[in-house]
Amino acid sequence: MTPQLSPEAGAAVKAADRAHVFHSWSAQDLIDPLAVAGAEGSYFWDYDGKRYLDFTSGLVFTNIGYQHPKVVAAIQEQAATMTTFAPAFAVEARSEAARLIAERTPGDLDKIFFTNGGADAVEHAVRMARLHTGRPKVLSAYRSYHGGTQQAINITGDPRRWASDSAGAGVVHFWAPFLYRSRFYAETEEQETARALEHLETTIAFEGPGTVAAIILETVPGTAGIMVPPPGYLAGVREICDKYGIVFILDEVMSGFGRTGEWFAADLSGVVPDLMTFAKGVNSGYVPLGGVAISEKIAETFGKRPYPGGLTYSGHPLACAAAVATINVMAEEGVVENAKRLGESVVGPALAELAERHPSVGEVRGVGMFWALDLVKDRETREPLVPYNAAGEANAPMAAFGAAAKQQGLWPFINMNRTHIVPPCNVTEAELKEGLAALDAALSVADEHTV
């Protein structure tokens, strides 16, 4: 697809946006959205013809890139056959999408409840857990994100929760492992795992095990910093849940469908949760879709007892057709294997080299096509490059870094003191090297703010 130059059209798009579109997570008068003219593969471009390599995968959802022809064709074919239909009926696209997803989920997560996205998937997973156990509380980690709806945002463990935290949502937060900024004074992964599990079990003891319905964790936390859990942690949480009859929910909205070099990040640890949420990569975001994969014992709860929840567009045929095509493309083209191979052979080694050269890089961490650089002012003290939840002038060093990346033709994913490296899972080695070179140049700007 050739970028079409039309600054006038771009100006019109921008004017209409500024006049009528209310943007999420933003002070409306302080933002300046880029007018996007088109996208293909790992790139998008504006109306002036400037092209950007997308190291955000949209919002970590275009796992097969933009405009994959087989998925576009599947959506067109489904629209010509059956554009929409109510969720109470058996529809081919819906049934086939559920079958393909269930084939890839771990263990006995063989029933699929479809939603419109990740946040409502979390909402329904929590509702299922509470109904299954008859208990009210949900335990969730600090440094987490689970969605923007009312329950999901209260479960979230980062500053996006603060403005909406009702303090009455039945949510208790705890510290999950993160050795680089350990809350447990740990010096090794083994210590971090053991102490984090002890902390979790103590929290349960003081909250009352009989009051806790579920523990929900991002299998690999995403926007909070891509913190791959240390060995044994998720297995330990599984044991704690079994001990106290607590439902274990893994949130794979970001980490699922190839992002970590496995179909699901749970496969990295061999742990099977009771419920697992998904969205984003299930159909590369081409049509909104999410869902909950449900274990046999949770499904049995609603075998004779109606599940009190649903959505008008649950399992929408267009979205499910896109999911079927996406999953088949990923299997046929080895997309999951590509993410794993390039993560191990290109991204990991290249980021380690960047860390050696740039004093602003405190830590590199990640797996597959799911990486983060923790940016610091001082490597010795690990002081973050900007204060926690910084805004305005306090956030100037990160803003300057982001602007430098865009100047290099790289669209970065920046959250607080971290830049994420999350290109499409079918990115090529040449595209990766192009992006990493641009990242190298932009980090020189961050280096200027180190001691």
Report the mean per-residue pLDDT for the chain: 97
The pLDDT of residue 143: 96
Q: Percent of the chain, pLDDT > 70? A: 99
Distance CA 194, CA 218 (A): 19
Distance CA 246, CA 129 (A): 8
Check if 7-67+334-448 and 70-333 are the same fold.
no
Which of 251, 314, 309, 248 shows the shortest CA–CA distance to 280? 251
Contacts of 28 (CB under 8 A, 6+ apart): 22
Mean pLDDT of 36-62: 97
Q: Which CATH architecture has domain 7-67+334-448?
A: Alpha-Beta Complex (3.90)
Distance CA 73, CA 53 (A): 24
Distance CA 451, CA 447 (A): 9
276: which DSSP letter? E
* pLDDT, tens digit (0-9, with 9 covering 90-100), for 365-413: 999 999 999 999 999 999 999 999 999 999 999 999 999 999 999 999 9
Give me the helix-helix angle, 335-342 and 317-332, nearest 10°. 60
Give the confidence band of 2 by pLDDT, cuts at 50, 70, 90. low
β 418-421/36-40 pair status: unpaired
Domain borders along the chain are 7-67+334-448, 70-333
pTM over 0.95: yes
Domain 70-333 matching CATH 3.90.1280.10: the answer reads no
Least confident of 84-98, 159-173, 416-430: 159-173
Helix residue spans in 137-265 (DSSP H):
150-155, 189-207, 233-244
Contacts of 206 (CB under 8 A, 6+ apart): none
Which amino acid, one-letter code, is at 16? A
b/e code 388-414 from CB counts within 10 Å (16+ = b): eebeeeebebbbebbebbbebebbbbb
Sign of torsion over alpha carbons 308, 250, 269, 264: positive
